């Protein structure tokens, strides 16, 4: 539990049940977690349990505490070894949070393109952070004739109570550059062999988004790189003509959720169109379909492409939502502190305004619980004590909070 965090307010919440409705051929007796009408009601899941899973049989009662308030508009957070937090503000500043408040902006953060969905995005501590003090962060980088998602490294140096970033350098750039303000992604996750997974978007517009299918383009991909930004050894497309060697998987839309599970594997959740948010377990060299196949429809109401949800050679999501949850932030829960959630993926919901908790067994979703927080959730992290920390945001900007969820005392 963070030692330097000031507790501001406390309430007790428990997970609530949604309004019952008939399950989609789900053998479990509980009601499905999502009860609103689908945007694409004629689309059918590819297999049982791919959407609208049953609710969990048991739901925890958790205490919600506001541990930091009046923060700038945040996009991400990491918990430092001493319990303080380092946070990224969308407009381009990084802060250390202690005693419930954000400290001064850290020097050494590069300029960001913060219009629209751009800004300072995710932060990841190096696996050897306690000794190296290295951090990695993604951001929408202003470039000639546009912008793009980039990854930088820096050393967090603290002297006489002042923290700065030193030796900041961009180690990886998503290419091509595009003049737009949407679908930058991006999350960073270190695997067990110090491999760094980087998720990015396909820039949203119809012209560039088709490049999610193009191995020569960096749009709509998961990358796997080393800490110098080079293709990680064993990547699936190394040596393949006209393919970027940093690519791990492709055919993705806009991934703002990524986490490593207890087996060292990457899970992602990406924003779909109107309906079609999807959970994936991206595997080396596989094609996840966007925009050729997808669940959901265009925001305009029409079909995406031919309206197909399956095609040979393209992977099905492990799970999808229609209507959407607006996923952002993801954590794998492997603690005994909240026993009901052990073995679950916890997703921050922007649209659903709370946590979405997926119980995973044999790589399938067996239940979906909703923990309402009445706020857009931008990031989720697990503390060393098993508490769940959630970063809130206000639509259109405004202030953020950091919430802590822990079992009742």
Please check the confidence at residue 251 and state whether its pLDDT lies above 90.
yes
What pLDDT is attached to residue 391? Answer: 98
- Label residue 272 by pLDDT band (50, 70, 90): very high
162 burial via Cβ count (<10 Å: 0-12, 13-18, 19+): exposed
Torsion of CA 333, 338, 344, 350, to 10 degrees: -80
- Label residue 30 by pLDDT band (50, 70, 90): low
Please check the confidence at residue 128 and state whether its pLDDT lies above 90.
yes
What pLDDT is attached to residue 18? Answer: 33
Number of separate helices (H) and strands (E) present in the chain: 2, 25
Cα-Cα-Cα-Cα dihedral sign, residues 284, 286, 290, 294: negative
The three-state secondary structure class of 104 is coil
Q: How many CB atoms lie within 10 A of CB 92?
A: 19
What digits encode the pLDDT tens for the residues 304-319? 999 999 999 999 999 9
| Averaged pLDDT, 115-128 | 97
What digits encode the pLDDT tens for the residues 182-198? 999 999 999 999 999 99
What pLDDT is attached to residue 160? Answer: 86
| Averaged pLDDT, 28-54 | 86
123, 169, 198, 258 from 133: Cα distances, Å:
13, 15, 20, 22
What digits encode the pLDDT tens for the residues 356-372? 999 999 999 999 999 99
Please check the confidence at residue 8 and state whether its pLDDT lies above 70.
no
Give the DSSP per-residue string, 370-384.
EEE-SSEEEEEEE-T
What pLDDT is attached to residue 96? Answer: 97
2, 99, 307, 310, 324 from 352: Cα distances, Å:
28, 29, 25, 27, 8
Contact 268, 222 (CB under 8 A): yes
What pLDDT is attached to residue 24? Answer: 28
What digits encode the pLDDT tens for the residues 204-214? 999 999 999 99
Please check the confidence at residue 55 and state whether its pLDDT lies above 60.
yes
| Averaged pLDDT, 68-94 | 97
Closest CA to 18 of 307, 356, 328: 356
What pLDDT is attached to residue 161? Answer: 82
Please check the confidence at residue 6 and state whether its pLDDT lies above 90.
no
- Label residue 409 by pLDDT band (50, 70, 90): low
Q: Mean pLDDT across the chain, nearest whole number?
A: 92
Please check the confidence at residue 7 and state whether its pLDDT lies above 80.
no
Give the C-alpha separation, 299 to 305, whole Å.
13
Can 183 be counted among the known catalytic residues?
A: yes
> What tokens were used for 164?
């700065």
Tell me: cis bond preceding 80? Omega within 30 of 0 counts: no
Q: Which of 73, 183, 252, 271 is catalytic?
A: 183
The three-state secondary structure class of 267 is strand
Please check the confidence at residue 13 and state whether its pLDDT lies above 50.
no
Give the HSE-up count for residue 281: Cα atoms under 13 Å, Cβ half-sphere: 13
> DSSP secondary-structure letter at 409?
-
Measure CA 334 to chain center: 18
Give the C-alpha separation, 391 to 253, whole Å.
23
Start-to-end CA distance of the chain, whole Å, equals 14
What pLDDT is attached to residue 2? Answer: 41
Please check the confidence at residue 26 and state whether its pLDDT lies above 80.
no
Cα-Cα-Cα-Cα dihedral sign, residues 380, 181, 111, 224: positive
C-alpha gyration radius of the chain: 20
Give this prediction's pTM: 0.92
Please check the confidence at residue 16 and state whether its pLDDT lies above 60.
no
Contact 55, 33 (CB under 8 A): yes
What pLDDT is attached to residue 1? Answer: 41
């Amino acid at each position: 539990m963070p030692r330097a965090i000031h507790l501001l307010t406390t309430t007790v919440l428990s997970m609530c049940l949604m309004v019952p409705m008939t399950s989609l051929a789900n053998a479990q007796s509980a009601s499905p977690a999502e009860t609103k009408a689908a945007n694409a009601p004629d689309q059918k899941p590819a297999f049982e349990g791919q959407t609208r899973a049953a609710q969990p049989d048991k739901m925890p009662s958790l205490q919600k505490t506001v541990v930091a308030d009046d923060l700038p508009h945040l996009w991400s957070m990491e918990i430092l070894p001493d319990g303080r937090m380092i946070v990224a503000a969308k407009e381009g500043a990084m802060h250390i949070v202690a005693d419930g408040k954000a400290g001064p902006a850290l020097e050494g953060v590069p300029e960001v393109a913060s219009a629209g969905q751009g800004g300072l995005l995710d932060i990841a501590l190096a696996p050897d952070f306690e000794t190296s003090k290295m951090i990695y962060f993604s951001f929408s980088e202003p470039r000639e004739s546009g912008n793009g998602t980039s990854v930088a490294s820096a050393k967090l140096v603290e002297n006489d109570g002042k923290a700065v970033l030193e030796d900041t350098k961009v180690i990886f750039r998503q290419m091509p550059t595009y003049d737009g303000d949407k679908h930058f992604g991006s999350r960073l996750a270190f695997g067990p062999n110090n491999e760094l997974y980087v998720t990015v978007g396909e820039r949203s517009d119809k012209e560039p988004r088709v490049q999610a299918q193009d191995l020569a383009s960096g749009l709509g991909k998961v990358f796997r790189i080393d800490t110098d930004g080079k293709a990680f050894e064993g990547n699936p497309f190394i040596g393949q003509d006209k393919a970027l060697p940093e690519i791990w998987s492709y055919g993705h839309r806009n991934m703002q959720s990524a986490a490593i599970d207890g087996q060292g594997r990457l899970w992602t959740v990406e924003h779909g169109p109107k309906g079609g948010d999807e959970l994936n377990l991206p595997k080396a060299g596989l094609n996840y379909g966007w925009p050729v196949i997808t669940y959901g429809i265009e925001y305009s109401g029409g079909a995406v492409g031919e309206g197909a949800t399956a095609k040979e050679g393209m992977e099905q999501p492990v799970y999808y939502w229609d209507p959407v949850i607006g996923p952002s932030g993801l954590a794998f829960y492997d603690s005994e502190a909240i026993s009901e959630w052990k073995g679950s993926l916890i997703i921050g919901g922007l649209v659903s305004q709370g946590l979405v908790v997926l119980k995973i067994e044999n790589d399938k979703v067996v239940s979906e619980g909703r923990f309402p927080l009445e706020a857009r959730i931008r990031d989720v992290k697990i503390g060393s004590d098993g508490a769940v920390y959630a970063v809130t945001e206000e639509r259109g900007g405004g202030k953020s909070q950091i919430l802590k969820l822990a079992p009742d005392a």
